[in-house]
A and B are shown apart, each in its own frame.
Chain A
């Protein structure tokens, strides 16, 4: 009954752009309340130690400084709970809101200053004297585990060990023609959005509501959790998401600072504003990805995988934050990728170190495990003596095997690859990159002495995590449409994509639709924006609600138009007779005015399984032998996401992901000195790619394998641009050096590459 697609599948302009281009965005720092106080966090300058004393007397003497808090002031607040993958055994490792007795990383909040303005708060924070007795530190997850003091007990810095396995791995290794073994590491990276974190809390006594502005990603979960932590009923805490300057996994989780501003707003009955500075961001917001893998493959004589056995060490920094075991869990669960792996075992050691605590970063666990798996495939190719494309082709899961039950679980779901034609996409990617000609050219240039090479990497992504999303759609008094969702926007174009889906299902123009997100007082439940879930889950809930609303509108209109609902249609926001082109027309605005009760419909979409996009990246690089610098000369990405709601936005997601992937492959790394002092504390140390480092890019958004799990066939697009970049570039560098397996560690910085070349 619904009209043919007018908006879904088209690259219509974004609804979000205009205010952002005019400087009318409302980011966290743009929100202020009269009489607000500013908070500044005093952070540990020691990586591991016992707090002996905190003396705020001098700070408190500054005029305009209102209060200084330490652990005793927040003793009634529990540590920050887990949101995902929260194993009971990890609970002692949760982070307190302010360090009590022990500090475990440089940057850990030990006190909070509240003052009249931000400059003064920072002055006062400098005057707070914190005496810390240093303890021995653990900096590497591969070292023998150390001691983790918890209250009066001594725990191990190995917080947990997870295992994911199927098949008889040992038997496969016994029967193997050959075994290929590698040791590989991934550096410490993070999302580093351009907007730092921020939170503004205020208590409204008139309504008895605690408000927090500057929310992002998962406002509903955070609302419920903050209410619980502060001992309030959930209805009396409301979170508001404004514009959000990038998320990438790390922004919008509950951090100590969010809890502090809320607790202080309740205590002082003042609006409390906290805006992070960049140095704080780089040492206090979640890091991610740091892992060391010892991986082995059992293969037959043709290079077919018989089994993979991986043991890895996951460096989670000083605490288990909201993501708990999510990243190592995803690492282990997604490592098999697009290949047939008859037997599999991954053992992940979750280790704590005296560094910034970790969470997720775009393609969490997969940037890591794709690097490891694809290095392994390249090593197998070298071992067997076949081409790196051929070895992949031999091992790919066939189209006829779909849906493919992997036999592993993650995020509370069984992994079942819902659809895919991996080898067809490989062909398309090779064509896109003009692989054959590329090889000929590279061969010629290498013969002339240049260090140039090409790499390929394949991967399966996951997206569309449930369990549900609910959407309500209202017709407003002027005939415009409001879609109220429980998701969040981090800048990816949620409003546009959801409006497009609604527009087609309802029969209105997408630009006449307003999409609400991130407002806990507008809808009771919401899952937020993570795991590339929004377009899939919220999109389908929107479609269902729109279909329902459409039926309701036609029914109501039938009465007014003295007609039957089944001959009516909604076209461009007007109700028309389908059987009578010159017949009466009723505008939605008129309908809304005529109807005594609100015109509204609500629907929920539930899904127990994720959907699995897949892709291929191909990189061609040039190495400067003198400097060790890598220039990416060409880059091609083929990514099948089932159905693209807005191809331009999908390509934007892919291109943005690639840039972050390149950062992790070549430039970005959080480094520490031997005392656990962070060395990457400015943008001059933590090097993110600029225009100059990102190559021109060929993108193919394929729609060959729509998901069977939702009617539009959608799969999420957020993470495939980043996932295999480290793997593809490593493969290309190997090729340029003509040394298979040369790259064992990301990022491949110029210094490391120089050292590699010198060692060769």
Chain B
């Protein structure tokens, strides 16, 4: 509809030169223009949190941000969590604690929890629950997600 803007998205340390309409959401740009489909879109109105990515150290909902707003910022997605074949402690904890079923909400929960724990490693348990209550999961009933995040928090603090 409207003219495209050229910009560079830096995702997991790699630059993606793309041209998108100003109205294109960051979520769509990450998925469609940069081919990183690990970030999922669950509601497109900022409530479910499935599309959570880390932008300049902060977890954000990539469906509520335009791609042009993320130009020049450091974006981290689920694809950047593991170190080669070694899972990130958060990914490992989700596996160990059966913190996922269908796995659709999982990337969002992983990025939310990692983003918050990196910033605030000693977050109180109650505050952690508040943070986790910002994303939706329809499969697990949350108990195993809580267990996984607590276990990973411990692991991340130990390092």
Contacts and interface: CB of A to CB of B under 8 A. Distances in A.
A684 to B, nearest CB: 6
Interface residues of A, number: 60
Interface in A686-737: 688-692, 694, 696-697, 721
Nearest to B95: A17
A604 B144 CA distance: 36
Contacts of A123: 1
A632 to B, nearest CB: 12
B103 A21 contact: yes
Contacts of B105: 194, 245
Given A490-B102, A491-B101, A692-B129, A23 B136 contact: no
Contact of B98 (A244, A649, A657, A659): A649
Contacts of A688: 136, 138
B120 interface: no
Interface centre among B21, B47, B107, B146 (most CB of A within 10 A): B47
Interface string A188-199: 000111111000
Interface stretch (A25-33, A155-163, A541-549): A25-33
Nearest to B143: A655
Contacts of A16: 103
A658 interface: yes
A452 to B, nearest CB: 22
B100 interface: yes
Interface centre among A192, A654, A692 (most CB of B within 10 A): A692
Of the four ranges (under 10, 10 to 19, 20 to 34, 35 or more), the interface on chain B belongs to 35 or more
Interface stretch (B54-62, B65-73, B77-85): B77-85
Interface in A650-693: 651-652, 654-660, 682-684, 688-692
Nearest to B103: A20
B159 interface: no
Interface string B83-104: 0000100010011101011111
Main secondary structure of the interface of A (DSSP, over half): loop
Contacts of B136: 194, 683, 688, 690
A697 B143 CA distance: 8
A13 B43 contact: no
Interface string A227-263: 0000000000000000111101000000000000000
Interface centre among A14, A277, A654, A690 (most CB of B within 10 A): A690
Contacts of A13: 95-96
Nearest to A62: B1
Given A23-B37, A244-B102, A278-B42, 9 more contacts: A11-B98, A17-B94, A25-B38, A194-B42, A243-B103, A492-B101, A657-B141, A692-B133, A696-B143
Interface of A: 11, 13-14, 16-18, 20-27, 29-30, 62, 119-120, 123, 191-196, 243-246, 248, 277-278, 490-493, 648-649, 651-652, 654-660, 682-684, 688-692, 694, 696-697, 721
7 contacts: A13-B95, A20-B103, A21-B91, A21-B106, A490-B102, A656-B101, A682-B45
Interface of B: 1, 21, 23-24, 31, 36-45, 47-48, 50, 77-79, 81-82, 87, 91, 94-96, 98, 100-107, 110, 129-130, 132-146
